[in-house]
A and B are shown apart, each in its own frame.
Chain A
Amino acid sequence: MKLAYWMYAGPAHIGTLRVASSFKNVHAIMHAPLGDDYFNVMRSMLERERDFTPVTTSVVDRHVLARGSQEKVVENINRKDKQEKPDLIVLTPTCTSSILQEDLQNFVNRASLNSDSDVLLADVNHYRVNELQAADRTLEQIIRHYLKDLNSQNIKKTEQPSVNILGIFTLGFHNQHDCRELKRLLNDLGIKVNLIIPEGVSVKKLKTIPEAWLNIVPYREVGLMSALYLEKTFKMPFVSTCPIGLIDTANFVRELNEKLHTFSKINVEQYIDHQTRFISQAAWFSRSIDCQNLTGKKAVVFGDTTHAVALTKVLSREMGIRVVCAGTYCQHDADWFREQVEGFCDEILITEDHTQVSNMIARLEPSAIFGTQMERHVGKRLDIPCGVISAPIHIQNFPLGYRPFVGYEGANQIADLVYNSFTLGMEDHLLEIFGGHDVKTVITKTLSTNSDLQWSESSLAELQKIPGFVRNRIKRNTEKYAREQNIKQITLEVLYAAKEALAA
């Protein structure tokens, strides 16, 4: 048993449902107790989805517990088949059905006898995989199901170079915007998009996957399994570089060019140069005097592997910010994460425990955090600004406006996000000169334990002159110094001495 208040990645069935409901005309039936269909609320609320979420529950209740589901699941599948006429029905196990150990595969086999839809049992174990792993697996399972009878001899590649984009799906962090930006980038390069999977695609079209020349997997978490399967079975190469940030976008374009060898209507290097210098503002921004003030500022990064890695790299090599700690909650992919951020940060933290993350932030006291909604709340408590860069996210992270993270427009967006997260530049400087704009005595708002230390009047007055957003830190540091030196009364001298000691 684990005492948990909060979790970063959801349970396995959420991943399966996210993939299944992203396809066009695919219905998922959960084998679950009443109330487990919370996914519908999330999709309808967060994505502001206009259509009914194609997910229903075959309810597990007392009767099922006593006698087994018997005909219930089969009936529910056949009923949905008649009502909605989906192309595919995905039976989704949950934590409850995992322990009931009913033969769901048997239900699926029986149901498919009388149904016009295809029926599949999602192959995920609740206790072994999390939301992201399950999504990855389900996507591969569905693709495999529709390609298994395909003879790789008869595949005709498209005339023009074309690609599939794998892993764009519902409730993903800025997925829709990223997808649009990717299409724009590919269009610039004269590459056709064959299929975007699974968002909005019909399973009937999956047969045409191998007609593309190459697969793109923008996100590390979901799509990689499918890409590997397609590479093995249909010899389709794939590009898994995530085009976030100017350097990696350039790498992404070069890699595409290399793997598609023949497409050379445009000069790729010239394109990258043009985009970097004139279309995206991010490169110039890094050079501009404003960004100079960011040099050496401390930041902490935490999130899923894709975004945490990308942001760590962007901050350290494109903006000159010092990443004191980079971390991820994707424990299953820890090795890759370490390898990627090695050299771009001081520390690495891999954990699913949010208290470890908040303790780390409290200890390092960065000037800004880039993390999930959880880190945003930690930042609020510690008075440290936070930019949200990764799921888990809330409704405000499903913006109506165009906010990609990938590609050249993505670089602009990230630059804005980073810049706005720091309390900045001139403002910072002016506050220091004029002693801050808030003169109210708010010095007790702190996470450190109530101190036994006495602040003299003059030192307290001096503390007030320190800008609000660093005041707490100075206070904590001074008290720490005083304790180390065994000083009970904090005078002006002690305050300065602490500052000196810290600077040394």
Chain B
Amino acid sequence: MNTKLNFECETGNYHTFCPISCVAWLYQKIEDSFFLVIGTKTCGYFLQNALGVMIFAEPRYAMAELEEGDISAQLNDYKELKRLCLKIKQDRNPSVIVWIGTCTTEIIKMDLEGMAPKLESDICIPIVVARANGLDYAFTQGEDTVLSALVHRCPLTDPLNSESQKPFTTIEKKKNLVLFGSVSNTVANQLSLELEKQGINVSGWLPAQHYTDLPVLNKDIYVCGVNPFLSRTATTLMRRRKCKLIGAPFPIGPDGTRKWIEKICVSLGIKPIGLEDREKKIWIQIENYCKLIKGKSVFFMGDNLLEISLARFLIRCGMIVYEIGIPYMDKRFQAAELELLEKTCIQMNVPVPRIVEKPDNYNQIQRIRELQPDLVITGMGLANPLESRGINTKWSVEFTFAQIHGFTNATDILELVTRPLRRNKNLQQLETIQNYVYLK
């Protein structure tokens, strides 16, 4: 049996969301922000359709739609952006405007980073530039580009606590931990509380609920990620702010959460307490779900970079993973997670799944046909066609929007994973009518 992780790389012909979709959850997270996506009708159409009804709740994001005059440089980019940003300031008065650069601004080489500081001083609102384009990134990596841009805006020292700017006395050397990754406020509180139980005080989150509350970041700060797609942010934190990065598995599933807390404790020189019991209790809680999926097989087509962590958790729940498709694999940032995956496979006595970077959806569908997995986790473009061929699917985007972090939310993950299987149970009678799904 294969017990070593092996990595493959395919053609990159796969379906995923454009990284500009990150504005959808980030504008809600950072409550005093405004996101301006500088792109074309294509970008706008995607946002409008992908985000469905959110668009009507007075969103704090908009398109700066480029027209032919902008492309052919008949109009002055700076003046145009200034006009729009002034309007935004007047209508919404945000604490920060985030410019999202797109494929088009990349291709016409619009110098957003150059224009932002000038415009910032002109209109007196901070302007953060993130290049979340489909040329370079996939889906959740959009958040990564925004957060790594925000790092530069975090204060170096605490302005309220100016005395601490004096050379540290020995007592002052308290270890500060900043967590990075956008999660809902509930989840942020839950994770902070879990750490508090270990006597660790989370000194801040990136991003915070308000732009004005960005955490202090300097060489004395320990940082740890909560999401697997934040490798750029991690690099920026280490290189630009000299923060100490704690490389841990991600707090997804009770196993991941426990390892995550343990790793943080170890790094901060604290002995973790009561974690074993805490984890055990959660496994008992989710036992019924695990019974449903034990021995069942799953295939990740790959589109949001949560795949490794989810696969690791599902293997621990007793599932067999055939393939983990993933848009991009940062083996350094995910090192601890990959190690845990390997260990989990050995522990559960299942073969190590193949990890396919930049997958090819066409080839994957051929493999799915052969393997006939019990569940395929995939994007919505492929879900209905697969269902009509009798293959159970779960929409992968739901994992991005659902609360999946920490001990408490393990149930939510399994609720999602088991839903198609529970649905099948309910529809058993319908199955007796031959071919109500259309099998080729």
Contact = CB atoms under 8 A, between A and B. Distances in A.
Contact of A41 (B40, B381, B438): B381
A44 B382 CA distance: 7
Contact of A394 (B52, B75, B80, B104): B52
A53 B12 CA distance: 18
Nearest to A2: B65
Contact of A35 (B46, B48, B49, B104): B46
Interface in B44-70: 44-46, 48-50, 52-53, 55-56, 59, 62-68, 70
A255 to B, nearest CB: 36
19 contacts: A2-B64, A4-B64, A4-B65, A7-B45, A7-B48, A13-B42, A40-B15, A41-B15, A44-B380, A44-B385, A50-B438, A51-B385, A62-B136, A65-B106, A95-B42, A99-B107, A130-B41, A377-B53, A377-B56
Given A51-B388, A96-B104, A99-B71, A33 B381 contact: no
B156 interface: no
Looking at chain B's contact residues, the main secondary structure is: helix
A61 B138 CA distance: 11
Contact of B385 (A33, A52, A127): A52
Interface of B: 12-13, 15-19, 38, 40-42, 44-46, 48-50, 52-53, 55-56, 59, 62-68, 70-71, 75, 80-81, 83-84, 87-88, 103-104, 106-108, 133-139, 362, 365, 379-385, 388, 438
A11 B65 CA distance: 12
Given A5-B59, A41-B379, A41-B381, A36 B107 contact: no
Given A36-B18, A127-B68, A50 B62 contact: no
Interface of A: 1-7, 10-11, 13-14, 32-38, 40-45, 48-53, 56-57, 59-62, 65, 76, 83, 94-96, 99-100, 126-128, 130, 377, 380, 394
B236 to A, nearest CB: 20
Given A1-B67, A51-B388, 9 more contacts: A1-B38, A1-B70, A1-B84, A2-B63, A5-B63, A36-B46, A44-B381, A45-B384, A95-B103
Contact of B16 (A10, A34, A52, A100): A34
Nearest to B68: A127
Nearest to A13: B42
Contacts of A52: 365, 382, 385
A35 B134 contact: yes
B12 A61 contact: yes
Contacts of B362: 56, 83
Given A1-B75, A40-B15, A100-B107, A50 B388 contact: yes
B287 to A, nearest CB: 34
A61 B365 CA distance: 23
Nearest to B134: A33
Contacts of A65: 106-107, 135
Contacts of A40: 15, 381-382
Contacts of B59: 5
B382 A1 contact: no
A49 B68 contact: no
B381 A96 contact: no
B11 to A, nearest CB: 8
A11 B45 contact: yes
Contacts of A11: 40-42, 45
Contact of A96 (B38, B68, B88, B107): B107
Contact of B66 (A1, A44, A56, A394): A1
Contacts of B381: 37, 40-41, 43-44, 53
Question: Which of B12, B41, B53, B134 lies at the interface centre, i.e. has the most chain A CB atoms within 10 A of its CB?
Answer: B41
A42 B379 CA distance: 12
Contact of A59 (B12, B80, B133): B12
A485 B17 CA distance: 56
B40 A95 contact: yes
B136 A61 contact: yes
A14 B45 contact: yes
Contacts of A13: 42
B81 to A, nearest CB: 7
Contacts of B19: 35
B45 A50 contact: no
A25 B304 CA distance: 31
A41 B135 contact: no
B107 A1 contact: no
Contacts of B107: 65, 96, 99-100
Contacts of A38: 17-18, 45-46, 49-50
A59 B62 contact: no
Contacts of B65: 1-4
A35 B138 contact: yes
